[in-house]
Structure 1
Amino acid sequence: MRYNEISHFSHPQHKLKFEYTEALFKCDGCNEVGIGSRYRCATCDYDLHLHCALLSPSFTHPFYTKCSFQFYSRPPGTVERYCNACEKDVTGFMYHCKSCGFDLHPCCAKLPVVLDDGDVKLYLYRKVSASCHRCGRKGQSWSYRSSCKKYNLHVACVKEMLVESWHDHQINMSNSHIGRAVNNNFNGGGKLETRIPKGTLQSYQKRSGNKGKMKKCSEMAGLAIQFVVSAVLGDPTTLIAGVVGSLISK
């Protein structure tokens, strides 16, 4: 459920208003990047993902059936913590299981288990034995895998693509002497680059030797990026409406 205006414990000075933005922003709750729907205090330049604004005190996850995750506004204890979904550091809002020690970013905790566009289905797995088509490794990060089991993409790799894309945008802005957005710490007006890197598809083409298979892999790659990027950025509706082909490197 979405509200046009809310009060939030993390920003008691003012109410936060719902808005939609195509500019990247940094969530002041979890300290992760966001895009699309958010709750914002324009007076204080304070932003929250929907998942960070409309929190659940506790929840359970199908990957950890014996765990009970509780919300924390900051990591407990003095030990550095990382998200078990994306393997990235946890520095702000989080969900933590005391008994197991597992941690999740709010947006990672809400990643959809199944992504379905009607033609291609991608399933979220805690661990996959197959290599990731982005990095070629079999890491511990959660992964999305196609129903045909021929395509796999780490959630961690998608996050790395986001960071790389934003860094590239900052460099381009700086080189073009339009540096105002660079100094705003994620509050720039640049559009996010979501195309699949050319090397990924070329590598697959060499392995498969089949243009039809490569095209299908490309379609699944585009779908994965659309859905996973949207979920990781805290808004499952963002970037999904575009045509898949427009996200594939030419």
Structure 2
Amino acid sequence: MKYNEISHISHPQHNLKFEYSEFPFKCDGCKEVGIGSRYKCATCNFDLHMHCAVSSPAIYHPFYTKCSFQFLLRPPGNIPRFCNACEKDVTGFVYHCKTCQFDLHPCCAKLPMVLDDGEVKLDLYKKMSAACHKCGRKGRSWSYRSRCKKYNLHVACVRDMLMESWPDIYIGHGKGRNLDTRIPSLKNTLQSHHRKRKGKAEKCCEMAGLALQFVISAVLGDPTALIAGVVGSLMSRG
């Protein structure tokens, strides 16, 4: 649910206003990368993902039917924790199951079960037996798989790409740089699993790239067609 302006316990000084930006940001709640829809404090340069700003006190996830995930402002306990969806560290806002000790980043907890733009349709799986199009390995984290069964992408691999490409996104540094230097490039990122005629091979790579665009937009917290298009156009540069 979207509100034009909200107050949030993590930033009591000022209200946060909804805005839509094509520029990447670091969420001050979950500490992860975001793009698109966010709640922002213009005075303090404080940003929250939509899923972090308008959270649910508790959620259930179809992958963990016996778990009740409670929303917390910080990870419980004093030991390092990781997200069971993307396998990345949890350092801020989190959905935590006290019984099973599972953790989910807010954006990972809200990953759509289906991504569909009318041309590419991908389903979210907890575990895949097919190899990832990025790393070539099986298993690992949650994955998106295309309905045609040609493209599999680990959520963890997409996270890796983002973090490798945006080393200085934290604390808001690098804002004066061209955006295309901080968006992952498709070059050399996808494993080639086809040996077809040139035209079909190009189409295969094009569809794989489109699949990757949609997974990236979902991981960034805004799986809209517009953001997928923005990410896609920027990824094609360089």
Same fold flag (TM > 0.5): yes
Q: Which residue of 2 aligns with 1:193?
A: 183
Q: Which residue of 1 aligns with 2:201?
A: 214
Q: Is the 8 A contact 1:15 1:41 kept in 2?
A: yes
Q: Is the 8 A contact 1:196 1:221 kept in 2?
A: no
Q: TM-score, normalised by structure 1?
A: 0.84
Q: How many residues align?
A: 235
Q: Where in structure 1 are there 5+ consecutive unaligned residues?
A: 171-180
Q: Please tell me whether residue 233 in structure 1 is matched to residue 220 in structure 2.
A: yes
Identity fraction in percent: 66
- Distance verdict in 2 for CA 1:70–1:199, change over 3 Å: closer
Report the Cα offset of residue 249 of structure 1. 8.0
Distance in 2 (alpha carbons) for counterparts of 1:90 and 1:119:
34
Q: Where in structure 2 are there 5+ consecutive unaligned residues?
A: none
Q: TM-score, normalised by structure 2?
A: 0.88
Q: Is the 8 A contact 1:197 1:249 kept in 2?
A: no
Q: Is the 8 A contact 1:24 1:188 kept in 2?
A: no
Partner SS, residue 163 of structure 2: helix
Amino acid across the alignment from 2:66: K
Regions of 4+ moved over 4 Å = 186-189, 242-250
Which 10-residue stretch deviates more, 188-197 or 73-82? 188-197
Query: Cα deviation per residue 1:204-231 (whole Å; 9 max; x = unaligned)?
Result: 34xx344455344323322322222112
Query: Cα deviation per residue 1:110-155 (whole Å; 9 max; x = unaligned)?
Result: 1111111223321110000111111111242101111122221111
- Distance verdict in 2 for CA 1:68–1:195, change over 3 Å: same
Q: Is the 8 A contact 1:219 1:245 kept in 2?
A: no
Q: Is the 8 A contact 2:22 2:230 kept in 1?
A: no
Partner SS, residue 231 of structure 1: helix
Q: Is the 8 A contact 1:230 1:236 kept in 2?
A: yes
- Distance verdict in 2 for CA 1:10–1:187, change over 3 Å: farther
- Distance verdict in 2 for CA 1:188–1:128, change over 3 Å: farther
> What do you get for the CA RMSD once the two structures are aligned?
2.5
Partner SS, residue 166 of structure 2: helix
- Distance verdict in 2 for CA 1:68–1:129, change over 3 Å: same
